[in-house]
Amino acid sequence: MKTNILLSGLLAIVLSACQYPAYLPPPEMVDVHPYGSHIAIHHKPNRSMEGELIALDSSRMIILDDASNRCLSVPMEDIYSFKIWYATSSGYEWTIPFFIVLPFINGWYSILTMPMHLITTIAVSVDARHAFVYHDRDMDFVKYRMFARFPQGVPDKLDLADIHR
């Protein structure tokens, strides 16, 4: 009984880690969505941060931090790497349990076909999870501006403390 509860809790934690932030739009709404993309950065001194990309220029990146719900400015020279999610993925994780059962229609050959089904569905699910993601090495840095809430920079009269989700 304790094992089932522990497994259920572990499964809930794993599945919740696969969730996208609520402010990310579906792919067909990316060009009209008012918020910026979700970004995860690693920067000096050995820290990580996640949140909404508010703006960036050649000297700094402004992020609405998920943990503190405040806008933080990170100098560009302090950033080691980053990853941007600009839309939610369809998610095909639900197919994994289905395609584990499906090979049983092959009878004894399911011993051979089950691993192939499992490998294929996991590969498709993982690939779909990374469909709308860019890394810092994917394009010129300045082009990442198009994924920010303010692609042309924060307006002069806007105080960063006034920006919320």
Digit-coded pLDDT (tens) for 63-115 = 999 999 999 999 989 999 999 988 887 777 777 887 788 888 888 888 888 88
7 vs 20, 37, 61, CA distance in Å? 23, 33, 40
Percentage of the chain exceeding pLDDT 90: 21
d(C-alpha 163, C-alpha 56), whole Å: 15
> What are the φ/ψ torsions at residue 26 (nearest 5 degrees)?
-70, 160
Reply yes or no on whether the pLDDT at 55 is more than 70: yes
Q: What's the whole-number mean pLDDT along residues 136-163?
A: 87
pTM as predicted: 0.69
pLDDT of residue 74: 92
pLDDT of residue 20: 67
pLDDT of residue 7: 58
Reply yes or no on whether the pLDDT at 28 is more than 60: yes
Q: CB–CB of 79/61 below 8 Å?
A: yes
